[in-house]
Amino acid sequence: MNPPIDITPVLVSACLAGQRCRYDGTASPDARVMDLVAQGRAIPFCPEIAGGLPTPRPACELRHGRVVDRDGVDRTGAFLRGAEQGLELVRLARCARAVLKARSPSCGLGRVYDGSFSGTLVPGHGLFAAMLLDAGVEVVTEEGQEGG
């Protein structure tokens, strides 16, 4: 008898799936993620777009638990709205795992930019990644960081 095939879907950052949804209007395609999507095993999702932010949009970073753009405008509400929608999608699709974009203020895991817009990384998680971890979802990044 053959072992069962795992068909549990994986939630993936839409930018890793090749969607041009990053703040600067580009994608960050990752061949492994794109293969999962092509096989129908992954669901692309961008919490920033789901939260109502446009593409392109000002770069954002985490500063003292808040998401701010380069001009100091607080974008936390949009980031949280998108993260909450993503968590609902994970629950509805019964995803147990997510592959997210490293260092992002939404999806970063273990290290995120510090809010100074100087390229400085500090320990921490993006808002969506933290929400998924709190819900017991296994989170990894395309760079191999793991959490949960």
Chain segment 109-137, per-residue pLDDT in tens: 999 999 999 999 999 999 999 999 999 99
Contact present, 141 and 102 (Cβ < 8 Å): yes
Chain segment 4-32, per-residue pLDDT in tens: 666 789 999 999 999 999 999 999 999 99
Region 82-100: what's the mean pLDDT? 97
Compute the distance between CA of residue 43 and CA of residue 40 in angstroms, rounded to an integer.
8
pLDDT at 55 over 80: yes
On the CB side of 51, how many CA atoms lie within 13 Å of its CA?
22
pLDDT at 3 over 70: no
pTM reported for the whole predicted model:
0.93
- What pLDDT score was predicted for residue 138? 97
In this structure, the strands spanning 146-147 and 138-141 are antiparallel
pLDDT at 142 over 70: yes
